[in-house]
Amino acid sequence: MKNPGCNHHRPELGDLTDRLRREARRITGPRQAILRVLQAHPSPMSNKEIFAALPKGECDLATVYRSLHLLEDIGLVERFDFGDGTARFEMARGGHSGHHHHLVCTSCNAIQAIEDCLALDWESRISQESGFKMVTHKLEFFGLCPQCQKT
Amino acid sequence: MKNPGCNHHRPELGDLTDRLRREARRITGPRQAILRVLQAHPSPMSNKEIFAALPKGECDLATVYRSLHLLEDIGLVERFDFGDGTARFEMARGGHSGHHHHLVCTSCNAIQAIEDCLALDWESRISQESGFKMVTHKLEFFGLCPQCQKT
DNA sequence: TCCAGCGTTGCGAACGATTTGCATTCGGCT
DNA sequence: AGCCGAATGCAAATCGTTCGCAACGCTGGA
């Protein structure tokens, strides 16, 4: 099927190579390190969090910002916005179950993924009714997690 | 001594008075002016836009920021986030049809309101499944408006 | 394997949105 | 009319993010 070769455990890194090559982009230490951090983390991370999780001195914060833009552009990572003024990123989940949302605790910021996409149906309906094309959406949920309810 | 006959289509200003009084807050020129601007505008406005729409010298930009926080806290205005790093505000539509979303053109930033709330049902379902309480959501749609499709 | 070219990075300054400290002003109750 | 604390203006401070520029290091070709 797809992985022809040595990509057994980290298909994303191989994917990175392919995509970057295709775009005449370079495979650098910082970019690989950032992807490794994202792969190891289950929920969206901010630039600062990614930077902090990087082996110290691995790269500059500005490079983290630049790399994430690039990785987002080529579709390797996905950007989320929880409304707190900081962007967060997650490895893009390729294919079927790709699109998803989150449930964020308004008190402790715990994040839980919501696996279904709940709004895809509406995109076409809204497109029809409004005349807009290429309709997408952003949807996130907020609430008080079980832990924080106790206090 | 205020405008006696002019408030019939602006119930919000009376409402402002009541609410602010209840909170031991003061009814100031800037606050009334800001509400007047919001009432006259159909779609969400940024702080800067509101500031620009104010009679010149009416108040400081910092006051616009502070006032909108206050008005949001007491539920008179609603905050929206279109992911461009600037908060936007709209008069809260009281009661049932209050909750709504927007469809934003990714090219010209035209904004169209989407009157139904599409995700209320899920809040309870998600609350049950996750154990989170007081679940709310943010949902906005993006697309290319008819005008911008032509170019 | 080596080299040149250009994509990348580091670092610091620049930026836009938002917030805050502080002295002054003003709304509202007595 | 007068006082007290809330609200404002102004400017400086924060925060996340971007940008300019010189140094650096991938990569494809010799």
Write out pLDDT tens, residues B48-89.
Answer: 999 999 999 899 999 999 999 999 999 999 999 999 999 999
Is strand D less than 7 A from the beta carbon of A7? no
Please report which helix (H) or strand (E) contains residue A48, including its range: helix A47-53
Task: Tell me the residues of B at the A interface, defined by beta carbons under 8 Å apart.
Answer: 81, 83, 85, 103, 105-106, 112, 114, 118-119, 122-123, 126-127, 130-146, 149
- Give the pLDDT confidence score for residue B34 in this predicted structure: 97
Residue A84 tokens, joined: 């707190």
Query: Is pLDDT at B94 greater than 60 in this prediction?
Result: yes
Q: Do residues A54 and A64 lie in contact, with contact meaning Cβ atoms separated by under 8 Å?
A: yes
Question: What's this model's pTM, rounded to 2 decimal places?
Answer: 0.87
Q: Sheet holding A45-46: strands in order across?
A: A45-46, A87-91, A77-81
Q: What is residue B12's predicted lDDT score, i.e. its pLDDT?
A: 52
* pLDDT value of position A24: 60
Q: What is the pLDDT of residue B151?
A: 80
Alpha-carbon span A10 to A6, nearest angstrom: 9
CA dihedral B92, A140, A54, A92 (to 10 degrees): -140
Decide if A138 and B138 are in contact by the 8 Å CB cutoff: yes
Q: Do B97 and B115 contact (CB within 8 A), yes or no?
A: yes
What pLDDT, in 10s, does the model give residues B113-146?
998 887 888 999 999 999 999 999 999 999 999 9
Ranges under pLDDT 50 in chain A? 1-11
Question: Tell me, in Å, how far CA of B132 is from C1' of C26?
Answer: 45
User: B103 and A143: CB-CB below 8 Å?
Assistant: no
B104-107 — which CB contacts under 8 Å span 24+ positions? B104/B140, B104/B141, B104/B142, B104/B143, B105/A132, B105/B142, B105/B143, B105/B144, B105/B145, B105/B147, B105/B148, B106/A134, B106/B142, B106/B143, B106/B144, B107/B144, B107/B145, B107/B148
Contacts of strand C, CB cut-off 7 Å?
A 20, 24-26, 28, 30-31, 58-60, 62-63, 66-67, 70, 85; B 20-21, 26-29, 46-48, 61-62, 65-66, 69, 85-87
Is the Cβ pair B143, A149 closer than 8 Å?
no
The fraction of chain B above a pLDDT of 70, given in percent, is: 82
What is the predicted pLDDT for the residue at A4?
Answer: 33
> For B10-150, where are the alpha helices, taking DSSP H only?
11-22, 29-40, 47-53, 61-73, 120-130, 146-150
CA distances from A108 to A132, A146, B71, B132, B138 (A): 38, 11, 25, 12, 18
Please say whether the dihedral angle defined by the alpha carbons of residues B40, B43, B44 and B50, taken in this order, is positive or negative: negative
